């Protein structure tokens, strides 16, 4: 019996029953899609119904509904960030990951303060304002324990370049105790992200062979501890390819429902990475439950309808064409120009001491190329960090988001941060596609937010920075 029971909310039997009982019923599917347009999210049973969609006509209806919900809630903005890998030292044996402890060929690196700062400075010079700090689970006493992480966070926030600084640092770190979460909150993190990988206990046990991560319940209960400690923006995730995606999706919904019930707010973001090839991992070359491109698009669309106000994150694990297709289906945050090897930004592709990455990337484009493409597709690349910095987190954020009020803030903030990017970082070609995108976005806005945006844009164009509402 685990010390960290999750059985009160994670009910595999209920998920199995729903999936076995769900029949492909056209009328029911249409009803669920109709209900999804009300922007109130979906129940577990309704998500199970959508998981049955297979006919091309229904897939198109699902996508059309997802596109409409995405456009209503998020408009055209797309938040950008980059991961900052600080350490690949890891005591766990996750069979899909190149950082697994048995991979003796991998040079192990825990970046020092100066190295963290040099990667941070490079990312600031590219135009990033929001980073995701990532590390293996290897904070042993030898490398400073948990204090190493706290020091790393301070190191990032301490960097100031002529062109600015990092305004929001999210983290993706192994589960912590409540007191450690409190310290993370005090250190000024944005979102705490943790992927359960698989909610299927036998699958989880089969792929996590040793180390602290073997304890399923310690991991599944981590977001409760984060919330208890006051970290109210949490990010969930699945590692697609380990077990049937339908089971994983419904279990993720149970997890979100649990946090909503216990803390009044579910998760701030959700990530659905697919397993990518990784060094020293046979499993990553042939995942046991591979997710096709067609199913991947369905997963994004279903999630968009099930949890309309939760950000969906898409990383550079996916190729540029897949990313492009998924933007309109529901994705609201993407990484760009990523490296998964510690020190990779200042030392190039090979990174610190030639440390290999965690897995192969599908999209190798630089930030400016991704920004240019977004603008040409009619999106507004956003570097906004306003909500977190103005204290609009957790329930406060959802209270504004659910009645549709947050757009009045997000749209102008996206435009001003994009304008900053164009003035301070973008090459000439990107400036012209970017300015066009800003003009088109302003034209599409209603009078009040447009006036706010124009006022804020004027300040940025006059040289003021970090203007937000």
Query: Which residues of this chain interact with ligand SAM, rule CB under 6 A?
Result: 96-97, 134, 136-137, 172-174, 194-195, 197, 239, 273, 275-276, 278, 284, 317, 358-359
Q: Which is nearer to ligand SAM, 140 or 261 (CB)?
A: 140
Across 198-246, where does the E strand assignment appear? 234-238
Q: What is the per-residue DSSP string for 27-86?
A: HHHHHHHHHHTTSS---HHHHHHHTT--SHHHHHHHHHHHHHHHHHHHTTEEEEEEEEEE
What distances in angstroms separate CA 408 from CA 44, 117, 283, one per listed residue?
Answer: 31, 35, 46
Q: How far is the CB of 226 from ligand SF4 (least distance, A)?
A: 17
Q: Give the number of other Cβ atoms within 10 Å of residue 169's Cβ.
A: 24
User: Does 175 help bind ligand SF4 (rule: CB under 6 A)?
Assistant: no
Q: Which does 157 bind (CB under 5 to 8 A by kind): ligand SF4, ligand SAM, none?
A: none
Q: Which does 284 bind (CB under 5 to 8 A by kind): ligand SF4, ligand SAM, none?
A: ligand SAM
| Residue 270, helix vs strand vs coil | strand
Q: Give the number of other Cβ atoms within 10 Å of residue 79's Cβ.
A: 24
Which of 46, 115, 119, 137 is the binder for ligand SF4 (CB under 6 A)? 137
User: Does 213 help bind ligand SF4 (rule: CB under 6 A)?
Assistant: yes
User: How much is the CA Rg of the chain, to the nearest whole Å?
Assistant: 21
Which of 41, 75, 127, 136 is the binder for ligand SF4 (CB under 6 A)? 136
Interaction mask 72-101, ligand SF4, x per CB under 6 A: ------------------x-x-x--x-xx-
Do residues 297 and 321 lie in contact, with contact meaning Cβ atoms separated by under 8 Å? no
Cα–Cα distance, 361 to 356 (Å, whole number): 12
Near ligand SF4 in 340-399, by CB under 6 A: none
Start-to-end C-alpha separation, the chain: 49
Q: Which is nearer to ligand SF4, 154 or 209 (CB)?
A: 209
Q: Which is nearer to ligand SAM, 310 or 382 (CB)?
A: 310
| Phi, psi angles (nearest 5°) of residue 21 | -80, -15
Q: How far is the CB of 288 from ligand SF4 (least distance, A)?
A: 16
Q: Which is nearer to ligand SF4, 94 or 302 (CB)?
A: 94
Q: Which does 100 bind (CB under 5 to 8 A by kind): ligand SAM, ligand SF4, none?
A: ligand SF4
Cα–Cα distance, 435 to 423 (Å, whole number): 10
User: Does 276 help bind ligand SF4 (rule: CB under 6 A)?
Assistant: no
* Residues forming the site for ligand SF4 (CB under 6 A): 90, 92, 94, 97, 99-100, 136-137, 213
């Amino acid at each position: 019996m685990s010390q960290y029971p999750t059985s009160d909310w994670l009910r595999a039997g209920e998920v199995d029953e729903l999936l076995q009982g769900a029949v492909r019923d056209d009328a029911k599917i249409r009803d669920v899609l109709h209900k999804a347009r009300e922007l109130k999210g979906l129940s577990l049973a309704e998500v199970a119904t959508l998981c049955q969609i297979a006919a091309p006509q229904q897939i198109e209806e699902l996508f059309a509904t997802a596109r409409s919900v995405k456009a209503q809630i998020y408009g055209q903005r797309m938040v950008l960030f980059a991961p900052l890998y600080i350490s690949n030292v890891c005591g766990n044996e996750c069979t899909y990951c190149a950082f697994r402890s048995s991979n003796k060929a991998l040079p192990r690196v825990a970046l020092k303060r100066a190295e963290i700062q040099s990667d941070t400075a490079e990312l600031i010079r590219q135009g990033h304002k929001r980073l995701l700090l990532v590390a293996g689970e290897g904070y042993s006493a030898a490398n400073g324990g948990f204090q190493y992480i706290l020091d790393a966070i301070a190191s990032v926030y301490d960097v100031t370049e002529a062109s600015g600084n990092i305004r929001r640092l999210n983290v993706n770190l192994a589960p912590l105790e409540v007191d450690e979460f409190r310290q993370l909150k005090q250190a000024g993190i944005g979102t705490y992200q943790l992927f359960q990988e698989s909610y299927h206990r036998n699958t989880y046990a089969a792929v996590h062979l040793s180390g602290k991560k073997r304890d399923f319940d310690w991991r599944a209960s981590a977001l409760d501890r984060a919330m208890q400690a006051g970290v109210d923006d949490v990010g969930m995730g699945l590692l697609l390819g380990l077990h049937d995606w339908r089971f994983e999706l419904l279990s993720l919904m149970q997890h979100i429902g649990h946090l909503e019930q216990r803390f009044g707010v579910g998760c701030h973001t959700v990530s659905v990475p697919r397993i990518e090839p990784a060094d020293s991992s046979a499993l990553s070359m042939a995942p046991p439950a591979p997710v096709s491109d067609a199913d991947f698009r369905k997963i994004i669309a279903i999630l968009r309808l099930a949890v309309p106000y939760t950000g969906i994150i898409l990383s550079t694990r996916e190729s540029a064409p897949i990313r492009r297709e998924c933007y309109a289906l529901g994705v609201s945050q993407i990484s760009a120009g990523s490296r998964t090897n510690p020190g990779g930004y200042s030392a190039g592709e090979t990174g610190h001491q030639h440390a290999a990455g965690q897995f192969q990337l599908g999209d190798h484009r630089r930030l400016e190329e991704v920004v240019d493409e977004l603008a040409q597709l009619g999106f507004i690349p956003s570097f906004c960090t306003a909500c977190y910095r103005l204290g609009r987190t957790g329930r406060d954020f959802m209270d504004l988001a659910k009645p549709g009020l947050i757009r009045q803030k997000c749209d102008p903030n996206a435009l001003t941060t994009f304008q900053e990017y164009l003035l301070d970082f973008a090459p000439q070609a990107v400036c012209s596609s970017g300015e066009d995108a800003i003009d088109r976005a302003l034209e599409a806005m209603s009078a009040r937010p447009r006036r706010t945006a124009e006022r804020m844009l004027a300040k940025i164009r006059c040289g003021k920075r970090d203007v937000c509402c």
